[in-house]
Each structure stands twice: as C-alpha cells, then as structure tokens.
Amino acid sequence: MQNLPDVSAARLPETYERAKTALSECSKVDECQEWADKAEALASYAKQSKDESLRKMADRIQARAVRRAGELYRQFSQGKGGDRKSDEYQSAGDHTSIESARKMAGQSRHQAYQAIRVANVPEDDFEKQTESDTPPTVTKLAEQGKKTLVDLDGIDPSLYAKATKVKGAVKRMAEMCESNDPRKIAKGFKPHEIEGIKKNVSAIDAWLDLFVTNLE
C-alpha cells in the first residue's frame, strides 16, 4: 500500500489523485482501515497547523477509505437469498464472512457499521459532497446512510428490537399456557366473544406456523 506523504513536502493534488486510485484498488478491509487511520492522523496534524487545504485532503481520503471498506463489507450482504456460500460472499479478499473480515481487519462493530452506512450513500451524492469545498466528516456521511443500513449479516437491525419483544411475548404466552387449562378457560367466554376469539386464535396459529418454519 502506498503511504500518505510527508506533510512537509505534500503536493496535494497529485497526492490526492494517487490516494484515490490506490483506494479504488483496495481488496481488503484492513488496507482501507490503514488508509483511514493515516488520513485521520494527517487531518489532526492539519488542524493543529491550521492548514485547511491539507485538512480537506485528509478528510476526503478518510471518507473514501471508509466507503471502500463498506463496499467490501456489502459484498457479503448481496448473496442471493442470503446464501453465504454464493460467489458474492466469497469474493471480498480471503475472508469467508463479514464478521471474520471485521475481526481480521481489527475493526470494531461500530467501525464496520459506519463503513456500511457510508457505502450506502448514493455514489453521486458521495462524490459531490466529498469533492466540495467543505467535505463532510465520516460521521455525517454515515448518518445519511442509516435509512438503508443492513446488519453485518444482511439483516435490518430494527428486526432485532422486534425479535426481542416477540421473544418476551412468546415466553409469557408459554407461561400462561402452562398455568391454565385451555378447556376450562374456553368456558369462561361469553357467547358474543367467541367469534372474535376464534379469529384471533386463527391468526396466531397461522403466524406461529410461519414463525417456527423460518426459525432455522
């Protein structure tokens, strides 16, 4: 991997173009992370030295490095039907899963999620913002990609909260069933309530069939 320049002798336009080319050719997350770390350090130096041109270049390189990592992660979440044995899942570097790619790159789950979010920003929007006179931070770019965020396993993270609620509801239902004789409970309803109860039970029964079938 090419190194970022000695800041005392940096020729910014040429350096930035070389960095863009090198990042587009990165095939492993750890390479992208190395670029991002060095760019972040360079941006910090630029802020201290009040060199705005250098800071903007560093911010752009960091954004591109994080986005490239996210693109590599997304290769694992585009397998048809979530088939982890598909070519797409096997194509990013030498890794066989997003989690192993993340761990081998030394990234936290937050860093991996952030990279995926940045990669979710439409390319035209990303280019326009990154190449503007006020390039956004990686954090701001990641905020824009939240709406289409997928989990590291290709799952909408909002499903985890719903699953937690369902888990609790199923447990309470099981406890209720264990402590109540259905034959006795059935006799406790008034005639006008029976039809509604039957419809609800039918809906629950159909839902549970699909639920159990898809647990595996």
Q: Are 97 and 84 in contact (CB under 8 A)?
A: yes
Alpha carbon 191 to its chain's center: 52
Per-residue pLDDT tens digits for 105-119: 888 888 888 898 899
Q: Are 153 and 77 in contact (CB under 8 A)?
A: yes
* pLDDT band at residue 92 under the 50/70/90 scheme: very low
The DSSP 8-state label assigned to residue 10 in this structure reads -
Poorest-pLDDT segment among 13-27, 45-59, 107-121, 124-138 = 13-27
Judged against a pLDDT cut of 70, whether residue 30 lies above it is answered with yes
CA distances from 133 to 53, 59, 119, 128, 129 (A): 10, 11, 21, 10, 8
* pLDDT band at residue 65 under the 50/70/90 scheme: very high
Per-residue pLDDT tens digits for 126-164: 999 999 999 999 999 998 887 544 555 555 666 777 888
| Angle, vertex CA 107, rays to CA 105 and CA 113, nearest 5 | 120
* pLDDT band at residue 93 under the 50/70/90 scheme: very low
Domain boundaries defined on the chain = 7-150, 159-214
* DSSP codes of every residue in 161-174: HHHHHHHHHHHHHH
The reported pTM is: 0.56
Check residue 87 and give its pLDDT: 35
Higher pLDDT, 76 or 150: 76
Task: Tell me what the pLDDT averaged over the chain comes to.
Answer: 80
> What is d(CA 38, CA 42) in angstroms, rounded to the nearest whole number?
6
